[in-house]
Structure 1
Amino acid sequence: MSSILLTLPEIYNAYKNWVRKNPQSLGDWETSAKWISYFIAGRINNSHVVSELVYCLSNLLVMFNDIIIKKNYCQMHSTNSAEKLKLWLTIIEYSEVFCELSAKKLWGVTGKWIIIVCIQVFKCITRLMLIYRYKETVIQHPPIPVLDRKNIKSATNLSTIGEMAQNQFDTSSFILKSSGRVVRKIEASPPLALRTWKPVPKSQNVSCKNNELIEDVLSGRKLIAETIYVTKPMIHLASQACFGTKTWKPWLIALTMDLASLHLYRSCRAIPLNSLTPQQRLQLSKRQLLLVLYIIRSPFYEKQSRDKINALLEALSKHVPLAGLICKPLAQYLPFWQSTYFYMWST
């Protein structure tokens, strides 16, 4: 037993070295693990719990491998408190459905709702801490996104080049506080024969500082918008406790909060000097697409869209060649997927 324990660090180090050397081929193994979870569903006893466990572990494995690769390329040796919160929040988001299914299997519906409330309280508090304490604007889903392994080398090189350009700018020039004009330092002036007499171009990082005033003006609306989005799951759960799970009021409250949050962000984006980064705008676009899921959420699904979706799947399976291989299993599993995944608090 002791010999096995002594070899565990060696196995771990060998695995890290293999991950660092083979970031591309690693994705094939990770994708295979996710497909196994789809294949297991409905084919063995407790298949939904086992399938969700495999899917959860595959996502955690991808996140773990991304951390190893990121440390290798970016030389990350320490993480701040915000990154630790994002790490725990990502782990919870990957495993929350498995926890809900396991709690329902072990302790019934009451245990499931207890786990749901505990998870959502933790997620809400953690996200609010990221917003108010660590000044996060648009929290991604998941908070730690999947690493783009194909472009990590180029992204690292661009980051290094940007830092070098910024350092060169700082050593050769300075900015006047009143006018914001860039002035070249005397010691950094080129020889008289090589001077072009053109103004010094502003660094991209410096030009971003000129938007601080706009950022301060917009921070209030963005803060309200993100707070509405973060607290939506808790308010939806509270409205379900007050009005019931089969009424329209919780559904309408959640939809209204989503629309209000997106409207506030849209009003910020209407200003000429945009205060949102491309990553933040991409996340907001995903939130707009997720509004489509409201047609598969209760009670809209039971009262409006279920029969129409089933009729569409049946028509496709009858009239489109080979479509039945996909549409028939989808029609069988859709009620379970709807009751398991399409919660208001899952986004």
Structure 2
Amino acid sequence: MVLDVINSSVLKIIEPYRKWIIENPQLLCEIENMVHCLPYFTAGHFNNSTFVSELLYSTSNLIVLFNDLLMCNEKCVNLKFSQFETKIKIWLTVVEYTEALVEISAKKLWGQTGKWFMIVVVQLFKTVLRLMLIHIYKERITKSPPIQPLNREKLNNSHSEKLGEGFKLKRSGTINNDNLNRSPVLEKNLILAETLYVLKPLFHLGCTSVAGEKCWPPWLLSLAIDLFSLKIVNDQTKNTSFSKEEEKEFFRRRVALLLYMLKSPFYDKYSRIRIYAILTALSNTVPLTRFLTEPIKKYLPHWQSTYFYLWSS
């Protein structure tokens, strides 16, 4: 069971809370959404607002993950997968939710050297775990984050919601996913595409150490890897069917290509002036948009310098 990774004595202590979130999924969702909004209202309003915003963002996501695991333990009683695989996915999800906070904290404590050291450590950790999911547990596509937020309403109405690919039904022992009609060549190509995608952060860091932080070679290398891995996947769509979760992840990666406009050096040379011009024009011409555009303009430098590093997968 998913929460076998949590000590039973701890579960006894939080049992009243677990019962409450299971009985009130809609209210819980509303509270979580409200907490999610808090980081956006702290930007620029007091000292260390960047750190506070990241702390609130990480905490809110970790709370959602914790609540999901508790609800999953109760509702998805007929689903399970390898306990070690579960631990890998939980750790990867936790790291994805907190890596920006870790980076900011390292920079505040140890300067640029500490920041880059933690970046390398975090990306090595993520890469190794993702490669284990691909090559040991045979995941064709590694999702981001690996443990997706649950559909609370659907989970409340059904005890058999599928949390993701690779779950195993207790009774039948069969794998509940859509990875049908596999062939050795197809699997080899998909593994190549996903391995390249997972290794991209390390390639980018290596190129950055040689060319510089805000130079074109790392930007171009990262973009080329993304395009090449997506092309391999697109070439296989005629020969295989992908699950809904895989299709969703492919769509996320295609949309993520647009974020290259917000990554240096493209952002510094081309995007920044145009984005601020559009926000200013909206603020001056469309009523009430100032309440939205001004916080975006104030927070955009933080977003750009914190979230749009090219090594993130």
2:105: which partner in 1? 102
- Residues in 2 aligned to 1:158 and 1:97: alpha-carbon distance in whole angstroms: 31
Q: Does the CA contact (< 8 Å) of 2:43 and 2:299 recur in 1?
A: no
2:118: which partner in 1? 115
- Residues in 2 aligned to 1:262 and 1:242: alpha-carbon distance in whole angstroms: 26
User: Max radius of gyration: which structure?
Assistant: 1
What's the offset of the Cα at 1:153? Answer: 4.5
**1:243 alignment partner, one of 211, 230, 235:** 211
2:72: which partner in 1? 70
Structure 1 residues 79 and 54: CA distance shift in structure 2, 3 A: farther
Structure 1 residues 158 and 74: CA distance shift in structure 2, 3 A: closer
| 1:235-273 deviations in Å (ceiling 9; x for gaps) | 0011000110121100000000000000000000022xx
Amino acid in the other structure paired with 1:256: A
What's the offset of the Cα at 1:35? Answer: 1.7
Q: Secondary structure at the match of 2:159?
A: helix
- Greater relative contact order structure (CA < 8 Å, 6+ sep): 2
| 1:187-244 deviations in Å (ceiling 9; x for gaps) | xxxxxxxxxxxxxxxxxx99x79x44x3433101100000010000110011000110
1:137 correspondence with 2:103: no
**2:54 alignment partner, one of 52, 55, 63:** 52
Alignment of 1:93-242 (within 5 A): 93-157=96-160, 211-212=180-181, 214-242=182-210
2:45: which partner in 1? 43
Amino acid in the other structure paired with 2:36: K
**Structure with higher helix content:** 1
Amino acid in the other structure paired with 2:101: F
Identity %: 41
Q: Does the CA contact (< 8 Å) of 1:218 and 1:275 recur in 2?
A: no
- Residues in 2 aligned to 1:141 and 1:151: alpha-carbon distance in whole angstroms: 21
Provide the TM-score with structure 2 as the length reference.
0.88
Q: Secondary structure at the match of 2:44?
A: coil
| 1:294-342 deviations in Å (ceiling 9; x for gaps) | 0010000001111111111111111111112211221222122101111
Q: Secondary structure at the match of 1:138?
A: coil
Provide the TM-score with structure 1 as the length reference.
0.79
Gaps of 5+ in 2: 1-8, 163-168
- Residues in 2 aligned to 1:158 and 1:113: alpha-carbon distance in whole angstroms: 41
2:232: which partner in 1? 264
Amino acid in the other structure paired with 2:114: G
Gaps of 5+ in 1: 1-6, 168-204
Amino acid in the other structure paired with 2:14: Y
Q: CA RMSD in A?
A: 2.5
Q: Does the CA contact (< 8 Å) of 1:73 and 1:156 recur in 2?
A: yes
Amino acid in the other structure paired with 1:36: L
Bigger shift: 308-317 or 230-239? 308-317
Alignment of 1:325-344 (within 5 A): 325-344=291-310
> How many pairs are equivalent?
296
1:316: which partner in 2? 282
Q: Secondary structure at the match of 2:190?
A: helix
Structure 1 residues 16 and 146: CA distance shift in structure 2, 3 A: same
Structure 1 residues 152 and 158: CA distance shift in structure 2, 3 A: closer
Question: Which structure 1 residue ranges, 4+ long, deviate > 4 Å from structure 2?
Answer: 7-11, 76-79
What's the offset of the Cα at 1:345? Answer: 1.9
